[in-house]
Amino acid sequence: MGNRRSDDHTGRGDADREARPPAPHRGAVPRGLRDLEWALPQTFLGLDEEAGAFDTARAVILPVPYEATTSYGGGTRAGPAAIIDASRYIELYDREFGAEVGPAIGVHTLPPLELTRAGPAAAMAELKEAHDRVLAAAGDRFVLMLGGEHAVSAPAIRSHATHRGERVSVLQFDAHADLRAEYEGSPHSHASAMARVLDLADVVGVGLRGVSAEEVEVARAHDGVHLIWADDMWESDAWMDEAMERLGGDVYITFDVDYFDPSLVPSTGTPEPGGGDWYRTLRFLRRVFEERNVIGADVVELAPTPGLRAPDFLVAKLAYKLLAYRFHALFG
Q: How far apart (Å, rounded) are the C-alpha atoms in residues 235 and 263?
A: 19
Cα–chain center distance at 193: 15
Closest CB 258 distance from Mn ion, rounded Å: 4
* Contact yes or no for 200/161 (Cβ under 8 A): yes
Select the residue whose beta carbon is closest to Mn ion and give its number. 176
Q: How far apart (Å, rounded) are the C-alpha atoms in residues 74 and 80?
A: 14
Between 44 and 173, name the residue whose CB sits nearer to Mn ion.
173
Q: How far apart (Å, rounded) are the C-alpha atoms in residues 191 and 31?
A: 50
Closest CB 132 distance from Mn ion, rounded Å: 25
Residue type, 60: V
Between 135 and 206, name the residue whose CB sits nearer to Mn ion.
206
Between 43 and 281, name the residue whose CB sits nearer to Mn ion.
281
Q: Residue numbers of the site for Mn ion (CB under 5 A)?
A: 174-176, 256, 258
Between 169 and 268, name the residue whose CB sits nearer to Mn ion.
268
Name 62's bridge partners.
Answer: 145
Closest CB 259 distance from Mn ion, rounded Å: 7
Closest CB 97 distance from Mn ion, rounded Å: 30
Between 51 and 175, name the residue whose CB sits nearer to Mn ion.
175
Closest CB 198 distance from Mn ion, rounded Å: 17
Main-chain phi, psi angles of 244, to 5 degrees: -60, -40
Main-chain phi, psi angles of 131, to 5 degrees: -65, -40
Kind and range of the H or E run holding 46: none
